[in-house]
């Protein structure tokens, strides 16, 4: 039986290092499930694995799209399943690693193709946002789909608008649509979630943001200013600098907002993962325990040699 090992957790927890260590142990490759690392232009702000890490283990779906490309979880499901099928020709185990919960769920459970949104509906919701602001979107989503409201990034207007569109277009909640018709997969799935003590995680988040600034995040964001309305850039680290460029906050405030919003995003990620009781939680330094857990749940040690 082929096995997909999922490695997820909040941002900055240590998923990249853990996934590489597991992949090296099982002599396999990694499918990235990060909805922003897939874009070529956002290396610094999305903490893409560095060249050394990419050399240690082959990664898939990192830097394969442009920020101007439209890409969603349903498309990722199709692409990732095809890649997994290819990899399973050579390996008994494959690692799926990333913190984008919807992308991970799409691969594990399947997601129905989202119907095209009627132009008039999209125009109406966009108008609501322009006239009434993001708080109006939040309250609308809270009314239409309180379950998704609890886990969505409430500072991301693109996510809010998309969920509201789907609720009106289909007559179902976005939560319902994602849960319907759970698909079976021709491989076993073992789910691992990583976490740290809150203070330690928040300190790592702050350090990561500082490192991004040192690595040139401001310049990276500035180079993408002409595409700031693209969905790919409606994310933490980019929104805040765009506000700074527009004179809506100071440089210092922008950096502090990135740290604050990243911490909020990490909390949302943890809440999303905790919805699924199939996850086994580990500290990132418990690599031997993770290996034992994977081997135990497969009934015998796996060797991809």
Instruction: Provide the 3-class DSSP secondary structure of residue 192.
Output: strand
User: Is the pLDDT score of 302 beyond 80?
Assistant: no
The percentage of the chain sitting over the pLDDT mark of 70, rounded to a whole number, equals 95
**Rg, C-alpha atoms of the chain:** 19
- Domain assignments of the chain as residue spans, ordered by start: 3-112+181-297, 119-179
pLDDT digits (tens, 9 = 90+) for 21-30: 999 999 999 9
Question: Contacts from 17-22 at CB under 8 Å and sequence distance 24+?
Answer: 17/53, 17/284, 18/97, 18/194, 18/284, 18/287, 18/290, 19/57, 19/95, 19/97, 20/49, 20/53, 20/56, 20/57, 21/287, 22/95, 22/287, 22/290, 22/291, 22/294
pLDDT digits (tens, 9 = 90+) for 274-289: 989 999 999 999 999 9
pLDDT for res 114: 67
pLDDT digits (tens, 9 = 90+) for 82-113: 999 999 999 999 999 999 998 999 999 987 66
Average pLDDT over residues 216-243: 95
What predicted TM-score, i.e. pTM, was given to this entire model? 0.83
CA separation, residue 280 to residues 20, 75, 294 (Å): 18, 27, 10
* Rounded distance between C-alpha atoms, residue 84 and residue 94, angstroms: 7
134-144 helix and 157-170 helix, angle to the nearest 10 degrees: 40
Say which CATH superfamily domain 3-112+181-297 falls into.
P-loop containing nucleotide triphosphate hydrolases (3.40.50.300)
Whether 45 and 237 have beta carbons less than 8 Å apart is answered as: yes
Give the CATH number of domain 119-179; options: 3.40.50.720, 3.40.50.1820, 3.40.640.10, 1.10.20.140.
Answer: 1.10.20.140
Closest CA to 163 of 177, 179, 181, 182: 177
φ and ψ at 146, to 5 degrees? -60, -30
What contacts 91, CB < 8 A, 6 or more positions away?
A: 2, 26, 27, 28, 29, 304
């Amino acid at each position: 039986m082929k096995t997909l090992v999922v490695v997820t957790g909040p941002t900055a927890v240590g998923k990249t290092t853990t996934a590489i260590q597991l992949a090296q142990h099982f002599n396999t490759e990694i499918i990235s499930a990060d909805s922003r690392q897939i874009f070529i232009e956002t290396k610094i702000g999305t903490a893409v694995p560095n060249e050394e890490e990419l050399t240690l283990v082959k990664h898939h779906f990192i830097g394969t799209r442009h920020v101007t490309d439209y890409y969603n979880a349903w498309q990722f499901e199709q692409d990732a399943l095809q890649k997994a099928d290819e990899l399973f020709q050579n390996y008994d185990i494959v690692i799926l690693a990333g913190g984008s919960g919807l992308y991970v769920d799409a691969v594990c459970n399947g997601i129905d193709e989202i119907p095209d949104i009627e132009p008039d509906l999209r125009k109406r919701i966009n108008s609501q946002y322009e006239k009434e602001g993001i708080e109006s979107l939040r309250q609308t989503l809270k009314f239409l789909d309180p379950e998704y409201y609890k886990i969505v990034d409430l500072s991301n207007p693109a996510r809010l608008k998309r969920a509201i569109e789907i609720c009106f277009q289909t007559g179902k909640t976005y939560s319902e649509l994602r849960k319907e018709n759970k698909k079976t997969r021709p491989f076993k799935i073992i789910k691992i979630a990583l976490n740290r003590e809150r203070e330690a995680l928040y300190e790592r988040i702050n350090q990561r943001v500082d490192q991004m600034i040192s690595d040139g995040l401001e310049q990276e964001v500035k180079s993408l200013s002409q595409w700031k309305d693209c969905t790919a850039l409606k994310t933490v680290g980019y929104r805040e600098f765009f506000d700074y460029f527009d004179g809506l906050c100071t440089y210092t405030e922008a950096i502090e907002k990135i740290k604050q919003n990243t911490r909020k995003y990490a909390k949302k990620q943890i809440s999303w993962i905790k919805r699924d009781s199939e996850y086994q939680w580990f500290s990132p330094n418990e690599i031997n325990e993770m290996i034992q857990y994977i081997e135990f749940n497969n009934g015998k040690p796996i060797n991809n040699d």
